[in-house]
Amino acid sequence: MAQIMSYENFKDNLNSRLFEGSRKGLLENIADKPDRFIGLFRPTKPKTKIIQNLTQSHEIKFGDALESLFTEYFALLGYINLPKKIIDTQSGDELNIDQLFYFDENVIYMIEQKVRDDHDSTKKRGQFANFENKYFEVTRKYKKTVVPIMWFVDDSLVKNKNYYLAEMKKMGADYKCGPCLCYGEELFTKGIIKNLSKDIWEETLSYLKIWKDTLPDMPEINFDREPRDTFEEIISLKPIVFRKLFGNEEIRTQILPILFPTGDVFKLLKEYFNTQTLPIYKTLADAMGAI
């Protein structure tokens, strides 16, 4: 099997989507909703909740990372990717298409890509309504044949398969189109997309196995381990976030010592705050003196 994408590119694509900005995002979450991390009526300690927040964030971002990854794969195979943002002509809202591309200009492929089929009854109906609406808006914009595909990357769950197939049958009859439902490798083996190689799927599985072996068992929550990197990531936080973090006694005593055990990042922050001219930064630097 010929290599399509290098493993380094594959790894960098996933890591950048999953992990970049995670420290900044965690601090924003803590500042915005501290009660989710501390309090008597929480069955977990702050450290456990911090780890849980990071792992949940990585799970959510994994779907976005896979979208980006396969968009790049389609481009490498010669498909022409189209802009993924399209306006709902009725509501004016912006719709995000997971995959939208063509091989020849007469047929456009639209893929609603999700990691797994595990929605409950309410979400599955909303999911399909969203899929149908996106198809309608894409056909309206491009005025070409559009092949609508719903693809669940992980084929270990097929919870709502019968529902989606039934709805696609009705959609196909009403719109005079051929919607397709795929799980895992079926996207590459059913012959739905012209010239699509199964090599993408096999390479993805191979690389994912290698990549997962490089992951730590637990996310790193000692932000002082790489103080300069942490500083560069979080310095763009708005002063209001720092004010909430430093001004909440429970955050100061129960959470910040977990994330910044040596205070190395705080030293860099304080130096930076003292170089700024706006009064709020002097206030923040003074607040840090008591930490």
Domains and CATH numbers, the chain: 7-65+217-288 (no CATH), 78-196 (3.40.1350)
Residues 6 or more apart from 17 whose CB is under 8 A from it? 61, 64, 65, 68
Per-residue pLDDT of the chain (291 residues; tens, 9 = 90+): 679 999 999 999 999 999 989 999 999 999 999 999 987 777 888 999 999 999 999 999 999 999 999 999 999 999 999 999 999 898 889 999 999 999 988 899 999 999 999 988 888 999 999 999 999 999 999 999 999 999 999 999 999 999 999 999 999 999 999 999 999 999 999 999 998 989 999 999 999 999 999 998 889 999 999 999 999 999 999 999 999 999 999 999 999 999 999 999 999 999 999 999 999 999 999 988 766
Nearest to 156 by CA among 204, 212, 115, 111: 115
Residues 6 or more apart from 172 whose CB is under 8 A from it? 178, 179
Q: Tokens for 158, please give them.
A: 């097929």
Query: So what's the pLDDT on residue 119?
Result: 86
